[in-house]
């Protein structure tokens, strides 16, 4: 019993001291920082709008800002939502944006971020690889910080 | 039809019985809060899901104790001449079966999760304006599910032995063993944090195997009870020493040449028969009455003891 308390305490201490906790089983966050962040997108205005070379819209802007916050380059990959989710399951892309809401039927196969914006019943999320917890935590922290600003600019726009 | 006597705990144990009931109500309230805490923090961790099931399951002994305790005091009547004591054994069987079957389901579920190489995702949540990793909240919920449970278990154990109450005993044992579940689940959550995707399902597997183990032991005991196994001490270690005492008491009667006995358990109480070869036949009825009373006075658990004079003893028992 005392051993148990000691063990849990030691683990927590270790986890707390070590800056990068939780970690990714597949090192997604490290790969993104060292190499590039592979982002799949599928058009769904106003969230994702297809551009000439790179997408524009609310979500691509967020992803670009996130990438620069962790010092990663973004490689964009355009496809249908179906194909992108399959790629995400096979870990070929790191992140998928397509104006997804929490209701997506893919939620069992991928990891959805916590909603970065709520509009009535629609909770907007992005999709990442399941279990890549360091990456998900980093992304969620970034998105959470953007929430007040997003609410201000988008809240009015879509209330109409 | 001859009915057995009304049963009540002896004066000295009534307070313990009241205390047991109170402790079980506290347990139920407490387990509901831990189940709620675990449900809210569960995320998609398999270990948390298993620990949550374990928590819900550990409600069954307390609930069945409280339900049975409303029924077993009912007086024997025309339709139930042996009274309602066996309700305790039936309640015990039900909780053991629940434990065993859900445990089996969870073992299969965890093996599938492990085989599919499922990676559990644990993200962040915002609590009171602070964004925290959900894993830490899981650990907090698991710790809340541990320490009060151990204290409750320690309080219930001695009462269960005094009252000869198996549901209560199982419950106390499970409460006391709860820390192992929590330890395994915490290992799972911290393992996920370390980037070991397998830690979660391995922890879940350990917990579910433990549930099956508990379930199997209790199921076996419950079935034995309903098959009228010889009375065992509540901690299931050995034959109740009371059996020997009854035999000695009967053999010690001056008018008894030879005797043999048979006891069975009905819930908290024992019923039984003694077969005696009397040394002399005069005044036999009165002697039998007196001996039977003496046996009943040995312990409150012996509710009825029938003595039957015979010419030859039934065959000696096989080992």
Query: pLDDT-based confidence at A10, cuts 50/70/90?
Result: low
- The first and second tokens of residue A20, run together, are 């990068």
Q: Does A2 fall in a domain?
A: no
Contact B192 A133 (CB under 8 A): yes
In the predicted model, what is the mean pLDDT of chain A? 86
Contact B123 A23 (CB under 8 A): no
Identify whether the C-beta of residue B117 lies closer than 8 Å to the C-beta of residue B202: no
* φ, ψ (nearest 5 deg) of residue B231: -60, 135
Query: pLDDT-based confidence at A160, cuts 50/70/90?
Result: very low
Q: What is the pLDDT, as a whole number, of residue A4?
A: 65
Q: What is the pLDDT, as a whole number, of residue B269?
A: 87
**Per-residue pLDDT reduced to its tens digit, B252-278:** 999 999 999 999 988 888 999 999 999
Contact B118 A130 (CB under 8 A): yes
- The first and second tokens of residue B226, run together, are 């309903």
Residue ranges per domain, chain B? 11-226, 242-309
Q: How far apart are the C-alpha atoms of B108 and B303, rounded to whole Å? A: 45
Q: Is the dihedral of CA B316, B317, B318, B319 positive or negative?
A: negative
- Whole domain around residue A81: which residue ranges? 27-159
**Per-residue pLDDT reduced to its tens digit, B202-226:** 999 999 998 899 889 889 988 988 9
Q: How far apart are the C-alpha atoms of A118 and B297, rounded to whole Å? A: 73
Residue carrying structure tokens 């629609």:
A122
Looking at the structure of chain A, the number of domains it has is 1
Q: Is the dihedral of CA A79, A82, A85, A91 positive or negative?
A: negative
Q: Does A45 fall in a domain?
A: yes
Instruction: Give the B window 144-203 contacts with A, CB below 8 Å.
Output: 150, 179, 183, 186-187, 190, 192-197
Q: Does A40 fall in a domain?
A: yes
**Fold for the domain defined by B11-226:** Alpha-lytic protease prodomain-like (1.20.1510)
Whether the pLDDT of residue A8 is over 80: the answer is: no
Q: What is the pLDDT, as a whole number, of residue A12?
A: 63
B299 Cβ under 8 Å from any chain A Cβ: no
Contact B196 A132 (CB under 8 A): no
Mean pLDDT, residues A38-67? 91
**Which residues, including other chains, have CB under 8 Å from residue A157's CB and lie 6 or more apart?**
none
Residue A2: closest CA among chain B residues belongs to which residue?
B179
Strand partners, A56: A49
Q: What is the pLDDT, as a whole number, of residue B4?
A: 78
Q: How far apart are the C-alpha atoms of B123 and A136, rounded to whole Å? A: 6
Enumerate the residues of chain B whose CB falls inside 8 A of the CB of residue A27: 195
Query: pLDDT-based confidence at A152, cuts 50/70/90?
Result: confident
Q: How many CB atoms lie within 10 A of CB A32?
A: 26
Q: What is the pLDDT, as a whole number, of residue A159?
A: 45
Query: pLDDT-based confidence at A94, cuts 50/70/90?
Result: very high
- The first and second tokens of residue A50, run together, are 């297809």
**Per-residue pLDDT reduced to its tens digit, A19-33:** 678 889 988 998 988
Q: Does A80 fall in a domain?
A: yes
Q: What is the pLDDT, as a whole number, of residue A18?
A: 57
Identify whether the C-beta of residue B315 lies closer than 8 Å to the C-beta of residue B282: no
Q: Does A74 fall in a domain?
A: yes
Q: Domain B242-309 maps to which CATH number in 3.50.30.10, 3.40.350.10, 3.30.70.1350, 3.40.50.1820?
A: 3.30.70.1350
Q: Does A153 fall in a domain?
A: yes
Mean pLDDT, residues A78-98? 94
Q: Residue A77 maps to which CATH number?
A: 3.40.190.10
**Which ipTM did the prediction report?**
0.83
Q: How far is B257 from chain A (nearest CA, A)?
A: 55
Q: Give me the half-sphere count of Cα atoms (radius 13 Å) on the Cβ side of residue B81.
A: 6
Whether the pLDDT of residue A17 is over 60: the answer is: no
Q: What is the pLDDT, as a whole number, of residue B275?
A: 93
Contact B131 A1 (CB under 8 A): no
- The first and second tokens of residue A58, run together, are 């609310």
- The first and second tokens of residue B158, run together, are 């001695």
pLDDT along chain B (319 residues), means of 10: 76 90 95 94 89 88 88 88 87 86 91 90 88 91 91 92 86 83 90 91 92 89 88 80 93 92 88 92 92 93 92 72
């Amino acid at each position: 019993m005392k051993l148990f308390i000691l063990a849990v305490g030691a683990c927590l201490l270790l986890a707390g001291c070590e800056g990068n906790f939780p970690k990714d089983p597949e090192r997604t966050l490290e790969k993104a920082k060292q190499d590039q962040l592979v982002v799949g997108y599928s058009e769904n205005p106003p969230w994702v709008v297809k551009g000439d070379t790179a997408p524009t819209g609310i979500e691509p802007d967020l992803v670009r800002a996130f990438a620069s916050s962790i010092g990663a380059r973004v490689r964009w990959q355009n496809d249908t939502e179906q194909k992108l989710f399959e790629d995400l399951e096979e870990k070929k892309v790191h992140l998928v944006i397509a104006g997804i809401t929490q209701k997506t039927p893919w939620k069992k196969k991928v990891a959805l971020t916590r909603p970065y914006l709520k509009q009535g019943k629609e909770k907007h999320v992005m999709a990442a690889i399941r279990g890549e917890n360091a990456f998900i935590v980093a992304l969620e922290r970034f998105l959470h910080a953007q929430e007040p600003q997003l609410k201000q600019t988008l809240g009015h726009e879509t209330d109409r | 039809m001859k009915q057995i006597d009304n049963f009540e705990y002896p004066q000295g144990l009534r307070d313990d019985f009241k205390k047991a009931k109170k402790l079980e109500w506290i347990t139920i309230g407490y387990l509901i809060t831990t189940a709620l805490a675990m449900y809210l923090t569960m995320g998609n961790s398999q270990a948390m899901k298993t620990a949550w099931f374990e928590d819900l399951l550990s409600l069954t002994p307390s609930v069945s104790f409280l339900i049975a305790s409303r029924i077993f005091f009912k007086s024997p009547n025309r339709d139930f001449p042996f009274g309602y004591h066996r309700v305790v054994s039936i309640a015990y069987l039900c909780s053991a079966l629940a434990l065993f079957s859900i445990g089996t389901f969870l073992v299969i579920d965890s093996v599938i999760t492990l085989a599919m190489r499922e990676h559990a995702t644990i993200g962040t949540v915002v609590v009171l304006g602070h964004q925290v990793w959900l894993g830490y909240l899981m650990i907090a919920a698991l710790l809340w599910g541990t320490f009060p449970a151990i204290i409750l278990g320690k309080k219930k154990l001695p009462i269960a032995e005094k009252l000869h109450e198996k549901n209560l005993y199982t419950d106390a044992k499970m409460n006391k063993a709860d820390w192992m579940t929590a330890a395994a689940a915490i290992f799972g959550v911290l393992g996920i944090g370390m980037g070991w995707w397998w830690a979660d399902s391995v922890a879940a597997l350990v917990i579910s195997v433990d549930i099956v183990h508990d379930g199997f032991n209790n199921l076996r005991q419950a079935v034995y009870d309903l098959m009228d196994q010889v009375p065992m001490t509540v901690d299931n270690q050995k034959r109740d020493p009371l059996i020997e005492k009854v035999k000695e008491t009967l053999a010690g009667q001056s008018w008894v040449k030879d005797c043999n006995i048979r006891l069975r358990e009905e819930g908290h109480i024992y019923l039984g028969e003694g077969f005696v070869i009397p040394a002399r036949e005069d005044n036999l009825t009165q002697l039998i009455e007196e001996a039977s009373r003496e046996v009943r006075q040995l312990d409150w658990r012996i509710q009825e003891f029938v003595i039957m004079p015979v010419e030859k003893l039934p065959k000696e028992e096989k080992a």
